[in-house]
Amino acid sequence: MKKNPSLAAINTEHGIGSMPKAVSLFSGCGGSDAGVTAAGFDVVMANDVLAYARDVYLSNHPETDYVLGDVAQIESFPGAQLLVGCYPCQGFSQGGVRDPGRKINTLYLEFARALTQIKPKAFIVENVSGMVRKNFSHLLTDQIKVFSEAGYSVKYQVLNAADYGVAQERKRIFIVGTRSDLGIEYQFPAPTHAPDARTTIAQALHGMEEWPEGEFYDREFHWYYLSRDRRRDWHEVSKTIVANPRHMPLHPMSPKLIKREHNVWEFEHDDARKRRFSYKEAARLQGFVPGMIFPDTPAGSLDMRYKVVGNAVPPPLFEAVAKALPDVWD
């Protein structure tokens, strides 16, 4: 594959100067890195364990060195001014096992290892908002402690992607640190979209095919799916995009869901067309740009396409957090 020139190379060619470098861990298909790139950074290395996440990432960002495999097996990292990471969240997630003792909950120690080795001027971590729940508070406290002991001034806040131009209700915690010797304090970005001016499903999906055969999970709506209202209308923001296609929210072309009793919902018109969002629509609702490439590779099953999209960070949200970093990159 012919590689496109990096943004840093383009800037240098035009006399703008090199862009600050970033290293990305637990990168998935590139949501965080699309945001970081839009904020003005050159991502020099990315990492994840999912082969199809790498395939999607490199189809859209071929200039990045993507290391596929367990981060624990990476012995050294390239130099960078920014380190970002979205370590897996199944242990904290509302839809996951929610076991505070799971090993997956301590992957932040691998992030801390990279932080200690690279010593960037700043770092950004994203995870599900469930991390602030009482039964996980010890893990959040330990992350702040570990990152502080590594030499960083650390702050955290829960942000809603819908407040930053994403057509989706998606609350996530961000942990941001700036190197203590720099003597600066990070301030989280103010919302850019008021509740009455949010990006709607209609705006995000404008121009997309009505019935994209083969691109959506076309199976029955089982009892668990119908235990809650999964639908939002065209003029609203979407419910949270998930990684499991069975639980993907309904496309607004579907009939409304009517509550019959506790945890029992039915379609208002059962004979009308109804479907879940496709994986490409899910990507749009996550804030990925139109034309995002999903390559046909052996790892790219329909379920996996949904998974890498649902696990991603909305790029506009990560961009807003990264742009709020003080300009200390020289």
Q: How far apart are CA 28 and CA 227, in angstroms?
A: 30
Q: How far apart are CA 285 and CA 161, in angstroms?
A: 10
Amino acid at 129: S
Tokens of 152: 């960083």
HEC secondary structure over 237-293 = CECCCCCCHHHCCECCCCCCEEEEECCEEEECCCCCCCCECCHHHHHHHHCCCCCCC
Q: How far apart are CA 6 and CA 3, in angstroms?
A: 9
Tokens of 324: 């709020």
Sheet holding 82-85, edge to edge: 65-68, 42-48, 21-25, 82-85, 122-128, 171-179, 152-160
Instruction: Specify whether 86 is catalytic.
Output: no
Please choose, from the candidates 111, 85, 71, the residue with its C-alpha nearest in 3D space to the C-alpha of residue 33: 85
Tokens of 63: 């200039």
Instruction: Evaluate whether 143 touches 175 at the Cβ level (below 8 Å).
Output: yes
Tokens of 312: 């991603």
Please choose, from the candidates 267, 204, 193, 279, the residue with its C-alpha nearest in 3D space to the C-alpha of residue 235: 204
Instruction: Evaluate whether 292 touches 285 at the Cβ level (below 8 Å).
Output: no
How are beta strands 65-68 and 42-48 bridged, if at all? parallel
Instruction: Evaluate whether 244 touches 213 at the Cβ level (below 8 Å).
Output: no
Residue where the block lists tokens 């960070």? 313
User: Given its phi and psi angles, is residue 165 left (phi above 0), alpha (psi -120 to 50 degrees) or beta?
Assistant: left
SS3 151: coil
Query: From the candidates 23, 58, 80, 89, which is the catalytic residue?
Result: 89
Catalytic residues: 89
